[in-house]
Every structure is written in structure tokens, then in C-alpha cells.
Amino acid sequence: MNILILGYGKMGKIIGEIAESRGHSIAAKINIDNRSALDTVDTDSIDVAIEFSQPEAAVENIKWAINKGIPVVSGTTGWLDQKPSIDQLTVDKNTAFFYASNYSIGVNIFFKVNQYLAKLMGDQQDYQVSMEEVHHTEKKDAPSGTAITLAEGILQNISSLKGWKLSEEMTEGEQVIPITAKRIDPAPGTHIIRYQSPIDDIEITHTAHSRQGFALGAVLVAEWIKDKKGVLSMDDFLSF
């Protein structure tokens, strides 16, 4: 495949290395400093775009590719308030758009474990749920997209909870999930779900040891999405 990388930071570089090691070619590596290079890219030769940029650039990057009929695999978080318009554009242009807050296979299994645990805890009134996430200091959005996905999985299964908030923004008595977001180098990503009661605590944790799992997952999805259409997710890819 011929892959366009939109966002050539640490993740983009690892994605490029993994893609080339799997026999793919890189059409261009676009970042904030050379975005004008998109004007000269041969879009007809591009099979898929992998977009891992920044929240402020993601929407324009994704729109550019979709308008060119290029399938997009995106992992940028912090812009999802505009996702409905991207989804509609994907349908209008008859191409494919794949978004995941996290491309690690392990994390996506963790999402399912989290949902199942929340279902079990739904009627357990003595337990208070909370979340902690730890990332490197270069991560700009907080909480992480992965933490938001985890929170959504809990909210789908515990009706007494009305949403989530960063811990420092909460007021006493709110029926929401408190999320503590820490930024500590060189942590690539840790997510902890806790259910605490006066008698005992239940805790599940996912800890990433490097960005390799995220990058490999994105490349595997890019290989899978090449000839597909529509708005797709990890549930489609993993057939959950």
C-alpha cells in the first residue's frame, strides 16, 4: 500500500517505520511545517491516510483526505465534538473513515473488560467509581481519549451516573465519574478504573510500555480498511 501520514510526530514516525517494515511505502509525511506539500501529493496513488496530528489540525487534515476520496484512519483525540460532520462527509464522499481513541489491541480488550465490570457493578450502591490516567507531558488533551472511551463504557452500564468530570472540576455530591489526569514523563499511557467501598476495593489497570502497540494497531487497521466504505470503528475491525 501507499500510505500518507498526516501528523509526523513521535507516533507518526513509529507508524512510518512499522508500515515500511511490513512492505508498505510512504507517499508523504505531513506535519505543521510542511502542510503545503499536500498541494503536490499525487492523491490518486494514495491507498489510505493515517492521521495522528494535533486536535487543532485533525479536522482539516481529515476533511482534506475525505474530500479527495482517500480512506482515513485517525487516532487524534480532543476534537470529537466535530465527528458527526466528519461522519456525514464520509458518507457523502462514499469513502471510509475509521476513528479509535486507542489502536492497541490490548486496550480494546480492556475496554470490553471495563464494560463488563461496570455491568456487574451497576446495582452495587456501596461502591464509588473513579478513574486515573497517566500520560507523557506532550499530551495536550485531558482526560485522554482512552479515558473518555472508558468513562462512556461505564456510563452505558451504570444508570445512576450522569457523566464524567476532571477531579479538580467536580463539586461535592455530583453523580459523575471523577477522572484524575496526570502528565508525567516518559509514561506512554496508564489507565486505572477503581470501585471503592468501605469494605474493599476493586481495580483494573492497563499499562502501555511503549507506543509500538498503538502504532502497529493503526497500520493493521490501514491494511484492513483499504477497500471498505463507511464510518468504522474497532468493533468492526475486531468483530466485537
Q: Give dist(CA 72, CA 58) in Å, integer.
A: 11
Q: Is 140 a catalytic residue?
A: no
Cell of 223: 491494511
Checking DSSP bridges between strand 96-99 and strand 72-74, what pairing results, if any?
parallel
Tell how far CA 152 is from the center of its chain. Answer: 13
- Given the residues 10, 63, 135, 206, select the one marked as catalytic: 135
Q: Is 206 a catalytic residue?
A: no
Are 72 and 66 contacting, i.e. CB atoms less than 8 angstroms apart?
yes
- Given the residues 139, 182, 206, 229, select the one marked as catalytic: 139
In degrees, rounded to 5, the angle at the alpha carbon of residue 233 between the alpha carbons of residues 227 and 236 is 70
185 three-state secondary structure: coil
Backbone angles phi and psi of 51, in degrees to 5: -115, 110
Count CA atoms closer than 13 A to 54's CA, side-chain side: 10
Kind plus residue range of the DSSP H or E element containing 6:
strand 2-6
Q: For residue 199, what are the contacts with CB-CB under 8 A and spacing of at least 6? A: 126
* Residue whose entry in the numeric block shows the C-alpha cell 510542511: 34
Burial of 15 (0-12, 13-18, 19+ CB in 10 A): buried
Q: Give dist(CA 32, CA 47) in Å, integer.
A: 22
231 forms beta bridges with 97
- The catalytic residues are 135, 139
